[in-house]
Amino acid sequence: MLLSYFSIFSGFTNHYCKLFTCLHQSIYLFSEVKNSYSTHIRFLRACCPLNFGFYDTGPSSFENLLKAFKLHDLFHTTRKPTSNLVKISPILEMARENSPYIHIERTLLIIKPDIINYADKIEELILQKGFLIIQKRRVHLTPEQASEFYAEHYGKIFYATLIAYISSGPIEVLVIARENAISILRELIGPQNAFKAKATAPESLRAIYGTDDQQNGIHASDSFTSAEKEIRFFFPDSK
């Protein structure tokens, strides 16, 4: 296994060993979604704390480090897991064990029907921000499925129009991961009300693509519990 490359470098500190374990596991983060080599570099750098030193040395030094460990070419492999589900759980377990040094989370992002034509541009921005796309699917929810997903809003004044809106056309659903993914994604999408987003966070996704309080273009999980629940809704076999 790849970890055999690391065993001969006994002088590395425990922190560096944790980093290389993260790197080793990330090589297997392939599904039906193809993540490029540069995407993996962004992901790894986003997940490395400052005391590893790679933020200061720059991407070229980071890539040279990969080459030194003969791992550079492995990022170009087309190898996939035997299942179409990405084996991300080892990384999440490692993050829990080694917190606060590495804290990788996964979260759910939905691109809503009215901006589905911008899905590629939004996904590219997500990758540029250091996220890795773990799984994705395009689906057209029935009103019944939409009602189940938004069950917590049942009885609220906007519930009927929300269900009609989210089931009006196809949506793009993505499971994405990086360090502190939930809070960083929430900041990236901006306030729920698109008018407020345009005023207070003009570069946020909802400011750019949203129309109003309801047709705000983007949904993102607001907590770890919500993320796990919502991921299981769209990807029931996800670990």
Residues of the chain with CATH 3.30.70.141: 102-234
pTM over 0.75: no
The b/e string for 173-190 (b: 16+ C-beta within 10 A; e otherwise) is bbbbbbbebbebbbebbb
Closest CA to 107 of 58, 196, 180, 7: 180
The catalytic residues are: 219
pLDDT tens, the chain, 239 aa long: 444 333 333 333 444 444 544 554 444 444 445 455 566 556 665 555 433 333 333 444 445 545 544 444 444 444 333 333 344 445 455 545 554 445 689 999 999 999 999 999 999 999 999 999 999 999 999 999 999 999 999 999 999 999 999 999 999 999 999 989 999 999 999 999 999 999 999 999 999 999 988 899 999 999 999 999 999 999 998 76
The two tokens of residue 227 are 């993320």
H/E stretch holding 138 reads strand 132-139
- Domain 102-234 class, CATH top level: alpha beta
Structural contact between residues 114 and 217, judged by C-beta atoms closer than 8 angstroms: yes
